[in-house]
Chains A and B, each alone.
Chain A
């Protein structure tokens, strides 16, 4: 059997999905990035490799904010932005989907599809308030495991109104309400609704939200958020079974699409990923007054990639020496 591996390295979680050639999920792994994407890639890959030998991997796709880093380390066949990856994955489960709401660790996005094609999308702009990491932080402050956060919200009979416009205001509002003695589940339910309201007013502003609506990303684990969206939209909201790894699934599907056009994967193999010592360093290039901050990715002493040089002189120096790395 041959498989495709999708890797989604996000700010909070790192996800790995192995699909068969029909695009069905055979393995899904959800890990915390813990601020160390290289470690996350290694850990995820070694977990996959325990069950599926290296030779069964036919192609690799990466997405998420560390998609380029992951691609360099592993040798990916496709590097794709999160919007496309999420849309592709949602269409896989729900071919009729017309709206995708995705809330991750630092990003939140809405994707509008018509007949399986993305026709519009929006992402949060300069502010990450109301995304997963804020919920994480609040769960920690209230000493409730984040996994139980949604369940708590569902217990609420009468939610408390929380200001959702800004994370700082939301937190102080929550503390005020808590110090007035409101039950914690009502505060949590209020927070969920505030975040959903904020999402609809900001990210989804002016978008034509039509059914079916699919809610995915790490925050979709929170039943309180699902309920809040259903209440505010007045429409049923579906959460796919693999909601937490949809980006990785999309990357795997995209990898399978690209491999059919080309032979052989660029996967560098397990040994390459698991054994070497990967380091990221940056330096200020003095070649011109731009003083670009150039990032260097190394495996032991071997330079894998240079990023950030606006003139591309560093990047080009690499591809000229070793054409094999020109991706």
Chain B
């Protein structure tokens, strides 16, 4: 059986269930790189181009991790667009080329182009071509693709219940291992309920304040605890309920995003702006934090637009990069949490 490696980075957190199901239905064994650890980050930093942002560098580390595992192929799609008239950051377009240029002895890359900015015909053709590589006919490929889409929807349903994408991935995987009725999956506690408190609790206002904090940013930064320095977990430990873009209704997010004078053409940027504006008007959201990676081109614009348009709710922009010292992140999070808590109690 052939093996295909999927790097645990970038759009992994948005599309993994689709990819995995599709390849498995074609009879290919899927191998996923380890959750990001220090070694993966270090290897990525050593290999990647200097100008790339941290998540891209970490992606290199995941590809190298898969190389060491000796997989037959590595799945590194050339992502241009995942929706009509919406685009992904240009670095994603160049990912397969950047990998080939910098990693010698790379296993064959499956760098299928995903460009849905106009229509789906080209992707369909490429998916059939891909199926041929693994000896599948059109009908089998079609069935595999449909099964993948179905799992993707299931995964999005899990996320919408109230789980950050990384937790949703874990739940989706566990659900696949031990089949249960789809109703059961959503019966699990929404994110944060079973997160341990205590520890540094004395550093912040007690849990009784019961705050809801909206956390925005690119999913692949937020979901990777090494990149985000455990932002979501730290907030949950302080006692906050965390709301992410995936927990909001897509059409409402779209509606808020469309209030901009000009259409935002980055898919994730649009999602973040729409979510931020939605959260800004939602009284249940007490504060909004935007996590950006140092050197992110789209965020230099998107973050700025959000900072200017969020007017009702306390907002904080946090920029992270390669540093491992957590003191700066902790100080800012605690200060923000304190501010929101004291403000709420004063009202």
Interface residues of A (CB under 8 A from B): 65, 78-84, 115-123, 125-126, 206, 288-293, 308, 310, 312, 315, 326-327
Contacts and interface: CB of A to CB of B under 8 A. Distances in A.
B331 A117 contact: no
B343 A118 contact: yes
A117 B342 contact: yes
B340 to A, nearest CB: 9
A326 B203 CA distance: 13
Interface in B271-313: 294, 307-308
Contacts of A310: 225, 230
Interface stretch (B31-39, B147-155, B215-223): B31-39
A206 B327 contact: no
A118 B342 contact: yes
Given A291-B38, A310-B230, A81 B334 contact: yes
Contacts of B330: 81
B204 to A, nearest CB: 9
Given A79-B202, A126-B319, A292-B38, 14 more contacts: A65-B331, A80-B338, A82-B331, A83-B331, A83-B339, A117-B342, A117-B343, A118-B342, A119-B339, A119-B343, A121-B336, A289-B37, A293-B324, A310-B225
B124 interface: no
A12 B342 CA distance: 29
B202 A290 contact: no
Contact of B294 (A119, A126, A206, A290): A126
19 contacts: A79-B203, A80-B338, A81-B203, A81-B330, A81-B334, A83-B339, A84-B335, A117-B342, A117-B346, A119-B343, A121-B335, A121-B336, A123-B332, A206-B307, A289-B39, A289-B40, A291-B38, A291-B39, A315-B199
A43 B101 CA distance: 57
Interface range, B side:
20 to 34
A109 to B, nearest CB: 9
Interface of B: 34, 37-40, 196, 198-199, 202-203, 225, 230, 294, 307-308, 314, 316, 319, 321, 324, 326-328, 330-332, 334-336, 338-339, 342-343, 346
Contacts of A116: 346
Given A206-B307, A291-B39, A83 B335 contact: yes
Contact of A290 (B37, B308, B342): B37
- Residue of B230, B336, B339, B343 ringed by the most chain A CB atoms within 10 A: B339
A289 B34 contact: yes
A193 B321 CA distance: 30
A126 B329 CA distance: 11
Given A126-B319, A126-B321, A82 B335 contact: yes
Contacts of B316: 122
A59 B287 CA distance: 32
Nearest to A284: B38
Nearest to B37: A289
A264 to B, nearest CB: 15
A118 B339 contact: yes
Q: What 8 pairs across the A-B complex have the smallest Cβ distances?
A: A83-B335, A289-B37, A81-B334, A291-B38, A118-B339, A81-B335, A84-B338, A117-B346
Contacts of B319: 125-126
Contacts of B39: 289, 291
Interface SS of A by simple majority = loop
Given A65-B327, A289-B39, A119 B338 contact: no
Contacts of A65: 327, 331
A59 to B, nearest CB: 13
A123 B321 CA distance: 16
Nearest to A82: B331
Nearest to B42: A291
Nearest to A327: B202
A315 B324 CA distance: 19
A249 B332 CA distance: 20
Contacts of B307: 206
A115 B346 CA distance: 9
A223 B283 CA distance: 44
A83 B338 contact: yes
Contacts of B334: 80-81, 84
Contacts of A126: 294, 319, 321
Contacts of B338: 80-81, 83-84, 118
B299 to A, nearest CB: 13
B198 A326 contact: yes
A289 B8 CA distance: 15
A181 B342 CA distance: 53
A126 B38 CA distance: 21
A115 B342 CA distance: 12
A205 to B, nearest CB: 9
A307 B324 CA distance: 13
A82 B324 CA distance: 20
A293 B308 CA distance: 38
Nearest to A312: B199
A187 to B, nearest CB: 31
A206 B34 CA distance: 41
B343 A80 contact: no
A310 B40 CA distance: 16
Contacts of A288: 37
A119 B37 contact: no
- Residue of B34, B40, B198, B326 ringed by the most chain A CB atoms within 10 A: B198
Nearest to B294: A126
B188 to A, nearest CB: 21
Contacts of B332: 123
Contacts of A80: 203, 334, 338
A65 B327 CA distance: 7
A293 B324 CA distance: 9
